[in-house]
């Protein structure tokens, strides 16, 4: 929240115009970021649901003159009744504000609406903040993929949430 200002949040489907800022967020969030081209392919895929969390700040918000930025985004892929959380990221400067929960609420609700029976994901073993977030939604650790990640090499923890 800015001094003397307000913050407005909006979750909406990602569009082509969001690609440059979302690719920048990828570079800030992941050691092996997805490219703008790969993000664009997700937008074009009938299997992927991709949202951005847009933050508008400033004292001029009520006039529609606030500054808008992509605060976070997520990508959910649904295949044959199973959903996979492909990506979730919040801008490093905006973490700790509950923005990841807003994105998680959106993707869990959407997975249910699409009839998915489960949501799976993989997370770096060292990413305790993300693991705690997922556990708070009821995800359970199901397996470990040894040395799955590169830059740096690290195990992936596979987690799942049963929806039905």
Give the CATH superfamily of 6-162: Gcn5-related N-acetyltransferase (GNAT) (3.40.630.30)
For the chain, the structural domain boundaries read 6-162
pLDDT digits over 74-126, tens only? 999 999 999 999 999 999 999 999 999 999 999 999 999 999 999 999 999 99
Report the pLDDT value the prediction gives residue 3, as an integer from 0 to 100.
43
CA distance 162 to 154: 26
CA distance 14 to 8: 17
Residues 6+ apart with CB under 8 A from 66: 5, 6, 8, 56, 57, 58, 60
Report the pLDDT value the prediction gives residue 56, as an integer from 0 to 100.
85
User: Taking 80 as the threshold, does the pLDDT of residue 157 lie above it?
Assistant: yes
Residue 88 host element (H or E): strand 82-90
Residues 6+ apart with CB under 8 A from 151: 31, 32
In 3D, which of 125, 120, 128, 127 has the Cα closest to residue 148? 125
CA distance 71 to 69: 6
What is the average pLDDT value for the chain, to the nearest integer? 92
Strand partners, 75: 50, 87
Whole-model pTM above 0.85?
A: yes
Pairing of strands 67-79, 82-90: antiparallel
Question: Which range has the worst mean pLDDT, 26-35, 56-65, 104-113?
Answer: 56-65
How big, in percent rounded to 5, are the helix, strand and coil portions of the chain?
30, 40, 25
């Amino acid at each position: 929240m800015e001094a003397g200002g307000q913050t407005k949040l909006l979750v909406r489907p990602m569009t082509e115009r969001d690609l440059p800022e979302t690719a920048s967020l990828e570079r800030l969030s992941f050691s092996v970021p997805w490219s703008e081209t790969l993000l664009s392919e997700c937008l074009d895929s009938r299997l992927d649901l991709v949202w951005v969390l847009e933050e508008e700040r400033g004292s001029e918000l009520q006039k529609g003159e606030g500054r808008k930025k992509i605060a976070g985004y997520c990508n959910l892929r649904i295949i044959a009744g199973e959903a996979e959380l492909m990506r979730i990221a919040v801008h490093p400067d905006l973490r700790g504000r509950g923005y990841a929960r807003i994105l998680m609420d959106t993707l869990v609700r959407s997975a249910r609406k699409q009839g998915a029976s489960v949501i799976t994901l993989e997370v770096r073993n060292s990413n305790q903040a993300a693991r705690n977030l997922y556990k708070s939604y009821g995800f359970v650790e199901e397996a470990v993929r040894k040395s799955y990640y590169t830059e740096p090499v690290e195990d992936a923890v596979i987690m799942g949430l049963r929806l039905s």
